């Protein structure tokens, strides 16, 4: 296994241990990657070459970013949940058990430490860093509630993992096929209307529009909230500046090295 290490980030050749087709274009990929697994915290991500390490072609050239869904440091395993959307992710379902892929990670800052109850708000394939957080916090006595939305029930995955972590799971679908008929942020709003939430922290990850609505709602209610942002990126370490996102103070910050976690009141969602 080739390993290079710099500033806590590893370039590691990982081995595919398992790949599970979850349906509707979603896959669970389990990799053996001991060095990255040992250094990872919930909310961090990695860059993955979607080609096998012995593939001589250079297309696609760039590694793709994926949040870490879970990790087993003792066993040296990492889990990713990905959705097939384009050139790179279309190649990933072909990866077979025993094949090797090149990773760089862990990258970015993890979720901040908080006290008190937590409310998780996930849109579609934004769910992975929230499952990791729920599993990390599981058993420490705080109440955890998840609002998990997608276009349809077939796009909602690994609900049993949230339940096993002690999370109260509330679903929302655009087509009404499960849970609240509408967005997960609207479901959250209705829930907040019915009950007072004191001292809780709110964590969101999902599409830009969903996060904008989440930021607006939590700000209106004076709630402490964090988002994990996504942006197309190349280097993953803040050098190429490809993933710059605007902040409310007029500056730009890098999703890869300043984020992907930000407080909702620092990001400009316009
Ligand atoms: C920090 C971070 C964490 C992520 N975590 C996950 C994850 O856990 N699971 C998962 O499935 N995906 C995740 N993504 C998104 C994933 O990186 C992209 O879906 C992937 O790079 C697309 O590669 P592709 O070659 O298949 O698509 P391309 O052929 O490159 O593009 C296909 C379409 O997807 C759009 N796109 C590409 N990259 C992104 C992006 N980063 N954000 C928004 N739109 C994009 C393109 O504009 C285009 O419309 C994450 C992205 C970031 C930045």
Can you give the residue range of the structural domain that contains 12?
Answer: 3-107
Q: What is the pLDDT of residues 6-55, one digit of tens each?
A: 556 788 999 999 999 999 999 999 999 999 999 999 999 999 998 776 77
**Per-residue pLDDT tens for 202-251?**
999 999 999 999 999 999 999 999 999 999 999 999 989 999 999 999 99
Pick from 51, 85, 107: which residue ends a domain?
107
Nearest Cα neighbor of 262 from 209, 204, 185 is 204
32 CB within 6 A, ligand 1: no
Name the residue at shortest CA distance from atom 36 of ligand 1.
232
Report the alpha-carbon distance of residue 33 to residue 103 in Å, rounded.
9
Q: Are residues 246 and 134 in the same domain?
A: yes
Overall number of domains in the chain: 2
To test the pocket of ligand 1, the residue of 86, 87, 92 to mutate (highest count of ligand atoms within 8 Å of its CB) is 86
Question: Is the same domain home to 101 and 180?
Answer: no
224, part of any domain: yes
Nearest one of 150, 101, 141 to 122, comparing CA atoms = 150
Query: 128 in ligand 1 pocket by Cβ < 6 Å?
Result: yes
CA nearest ligand 1 atom 10, residue = 82
The pTM assigned to this predicted structure is: 0.94
In a domain, 269, yes or no: no
Distance between CA atoms of residues 98 and 55, nearest Å: 14
Q: Specify whether 124 is located in the same domain as 101.
A: no
Q: Is residue 33 a part of any domain in this protein?
A: yes
Nearest-angstrom CA–CA distance, 93 and 52: 11
Residues 191 and 257 in one domain: yes
For residue 244, the cross-strand partners are: 254
User: In the listed set 83, 107, 131, which residue is the last one of a domain according to the structure?
Assistant: 107
Residue 136 exposed, middle or buried by CB count within 10 Å (0-12, 13-18, 19+): middle
How confident is the model at residue 1, as a pLDDT?
44
- Ligand 1 site, residue 233, Cβ cutoff 6 A: yes
For ligand 1, atom 50, the nearest C-alpha belongs to 66
Q: 170 near 146, Cβ under 8 Å?
A: yes
């Amino acid at each position: 296994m080739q390993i290079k290490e710099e500033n806590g980030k590893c370039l590691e050749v990982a081995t595919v241990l398992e790949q599970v087709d979850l349906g509707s274009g979603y896959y669970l990929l389990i990799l053996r990657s001991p060095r990255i697994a040992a250094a990872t915290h919930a909310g961090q991500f990695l860059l993955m070459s979607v080609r096998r390490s012995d593939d001589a072609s250079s297309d696609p050239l760039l590694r793709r970013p994926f949040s870490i869904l879970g990790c087993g440091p003792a066993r040296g395993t990492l889990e990713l949940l990905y959705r097939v959307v384009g050139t790179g992710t279309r190649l990933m379902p072909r990866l077979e058990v025993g094949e090797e892929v090149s990773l760089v990670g862990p990258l970015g800052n993890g979720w901040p430490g908080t006290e008190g109850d937590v409310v998780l708000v996930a849109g579609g394939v934004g769910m992975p860093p929230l499952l990791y957080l729920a599993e990390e916090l599981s058993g420490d006595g705080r109440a955890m509630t998840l609002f998990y939305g997608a276009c349809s029930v077939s796009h909602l995955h690994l609900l049993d993992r949230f339940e096993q972590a002690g999370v109260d799971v509330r679903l929302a679908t655009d087509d009404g096929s499960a849970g609240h008929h509408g967005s997960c942020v609207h479901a959250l709003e209705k829930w907040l209307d019915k009950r007072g939430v004191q001292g809780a922290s709110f964590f969101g990850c999902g599409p830009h529009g969903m996060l904008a609505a989440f930021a607006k709602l939590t700000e209106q209610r004076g709630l402490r909230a964090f988002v994990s942002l996504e942006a197309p990126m190349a280097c993953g370490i803040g050098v190429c500046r490809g993933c710059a996102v605007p902040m409310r103070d007029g500056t730009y910050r890098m999703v890869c090295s300043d984020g992907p976690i930000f407080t909702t009141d620092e990001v400009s969602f316009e």
